Chains A and B, each alone.
Chain A
Amino acid sequence: MTGMDARLQAIRNATRVASEDLRARALSIDADPDAMEAHLDSPVFALMREVGTPDAYRESHSASGELLKHGASCLENAVGTVELARGDAAVALACPSPALAGVIVDLLGTEKQQELFYTRLHGGRTWTFFAMTEPRHGSDATAMETRLERDGAGDWLLSGRKLYIGNGARGGIGVVFGRTGPSPLSIRAALIELPAAGWQGKRVDTIGLRGAYLSELSFDKVPVRSDMLLGQHLPATRRGMWGAIKTFNAMRVQVAGAAVGTALAMTEYVAEHHKNATGADLVLARAQAARELVFEAAARTDRDPERSYLSCVAKLGAARVAVQTARWASSALGPAGLLEHPLLEKWIRDSCGFEFMEGTGNIQRLHVSRGYQAGDASV
């Protein structure tokens, strides 16, 4: 990276080493995402969990964990994400860790809620979930149908459906968004600990990124104690959607980083197995440029976490580069090359998944256009 300082280089080097462990597990988890027991004691999973956990709730303190502190900048996270995805993005997504739910629990949770959330993850066998997307509305939160209704005794009942929720059907604790009324400010995030009455979840089979364990969830009057609503201690404008938007702005860059990491992995894999592959230099240069863009977007998100223009540009561009790279890789290893190189074939399937994460390409295009018209584009 242009101008990568010593700290970023150290993060890159540490995560690059860790990525080898992820890659070694990639085909196994792709073949059977339910068979996770053999992977749960991975030292890299322990590191990812440690990094995602605030100091006060950590089970262990490793040297790498000290380097990759909880609450790291978006840029530091992006550097790490690219390298982990270079190992395997789907395995990283299969890790039981705070993940996206942790980001919003940090933003909106009280100390007591944070303690409940993070201590539940001890032992490394509890997945988390962040349930926003709905079957008929995608991530269009304004059309959200999931409801939080009063139960008559001061608490709430959660009803509705969510779809494409990572690790949802195997989760132990996480966050579900629902609305208490018709206005945008009525959208709230509830911390849900499982098992819970009225909760059902099942995995949906995906083309790739199978480690993400995308799930469909349904809630039939799931009881939610009033002290499990996040943001109760915050002003009404900072409770639900504000937290979700900030979370998405940060996570969009990480998805872009994962797409770039996968593109780099495919490029390097082909170069290793076919020394004179046509166009390899061009494809690598394209992926490296996308990586630069992701880092620039991450740095800008650190400076202004509520502006989304460049993170949308980066996600749009990185997802495209991943698919373009996959297209090139498909033809680079000769006839039947994909059947003879199952890891590459898996990455080609995985690379399509980034298009659909944290907003599709068309959603990003709309944001980019609005940002451009608002004067957010680079000089």
Chain B
Amino acid sequence: MSAATGELRKSCMRECELVARSDGLAAGLGLALLGVDVLAVAPGRWAAVPSRQAPIGAKTRTHRLAEPEGIVFVACPGDRPQATPGLLRTGKLLAAVRLGLVRRLLDLAVEHLAGRTTGGEPLLSKQLLSGDIANVIADVELLRVYARCQHDLAAMAELHRQLGELGWQVTKLFGAIGYLADYPVRALYVAVLVADTWLAGEAAQ
């Protein structure tokens, strides 16, 4: 992996995805930011980092939903860089983290739905739901390849917009429980906040 050029080995992205899937958002983000000089690379005045990786002495702020996910926001003073190879690299690794998180929550959604019935039939047997699940996993496969192939920040912003939408599709599978702040789906909302601090471009509509 070369932080200077933004080039990444496929295995780095795969590792980020796997860690996020098995251990959650903060663990995945921690791996994605390993070796990154947060204060130098972050494009905005705040950067999301795992609480345990906040630079010593840096000013931080918390967020009601991010804090229990083990994520804080570090103040990044001064002029901010807007288009560095390091930023592209971080955007790609963060995309892999978000894909892993989607897989983690999709697994949980299927488990959640497996225990529910409607009209005496398992909810999972309903075409509406099985179609939704299929769409999510098909998009995971597509966006994983898309993430590997993109080489500019605008495309990266567009990718993360799609990842936000993908997270929302998974959230909806949970029904109203997916809107509870103390439920694991919270991580998908926090992932939007995290990405917001590490992306420099506006997404296409």
Mark A residues whose CB is within 8 Å of B.
Answer: 133, 136, 138, 140, 142-143, 163-164, 204-208, 277-279, 282-283, 323, 327-328, 330-332, 334-340, 345, 348-349, 352-353, 355-356, 360-362, 365-366
The interface residues of chain B lying within 8 Å CB-to-CB of A142 are 119
Q: Is the CB of A339 within 8 A of B46?
A: yes
* Interface pairs (7), CB distance under 8 Å: A133-B176, A138-B176, A206-B179, A327-B164, A327-B165, A335-B43, A360-B175
| Cα separation A355 to B189 with both chains bound (whole Å) | 15
Task: State A360–B172 Cα separation when bound (angstroms).
Answer: 8
List, in ascending order, chain B residues with CB within 8 A of A353's CB: 179
Give chain B's interface residues, CB within 8 Å of chain A.
42-47, 61, 63, 65, 73, 80, 116, 118-119, 128-129, 132, 157, 160-161, 164-165, 168, 171-172, 175-176, 178-182, 186, 189, 192-193, 196-205
Would you call B164 and A330 a contact (CB within 8 A)? yes
A144: min CB distance to chain B, Å: 13
Instruction: Report B-chain residues with C-beta under 8 Å of the C-beta of A365.
Output: 128
Contacts of B182 in A (CB 8 A): 205
Name the distance in Å between A224's Cβ and chain B's nearest Cβ: 26
Q: In the complex, what distance in Å separates the CA atom of A352 from the CA atom of B188?
A: 12
Given the contacts A207-B65, A331-B157, A336 and B179 also touching, CB distance less than 8 Å: no
Contacts of A352 in B (CB 8 A): 168, 171, 179, 189
Q: In the bound complex, do residue B175 and residue A138 qualify as a contact, i.e. CB atoms below 8 Å apart? A: yes
Query: Considering only CB atoms, which chain B residue lies closest to A353 in the complex?
Result: B179
Taking CB atoms, residues of chain A closer than 8 Å to B181 are: 205-207
Which residues of A are found within 8 Å of B192, using beta-carbon distances? Answer: 330, 338, 348
Q: Which 4 A-B pairs have the closest CB atoms?
A: A335-B44, A336-B44, A279-B205, A335-B43
The residue that B202 contacts in the complex, of A205, A332, A339, with Cβ under 8 A, is A332
Choice from A133, A136, A332, A336 contacting B46 with Cβ under 8 Å:
A336
Specify which of A143, A207, A339, A356 is in contact with B175 (CB 8 Å cutoff).
A356
Given A327-B165, A331-B196, A356-B179, 12 more A-B residue pairs with CB atoms under 8 Å apart are A207-B180, A207-B186, A278-B205, A328-B205, A330-B192, A334-B43, A335-B42, A335-B200, A336-B42, A336-B44, A339-B61, A352-B189
User: Contacts A138-B175, A204-B180, A352-B168; is A362 near B128 (CB within 8 Å)?
Assistant: yes
| CB atoms of A331 and B172 under 8 A apart | no
Given A138-B175, A327-B161, A334:B180 Cβ within 8 A: no
The one of B63, B132, B205 that contacts A282, using a Cβ cutoff of 8 Å = B205
CB distance from A350 to the nearest CB of B (A): 10
Closest B-chain residue to A31, C-beta based?
A: B64
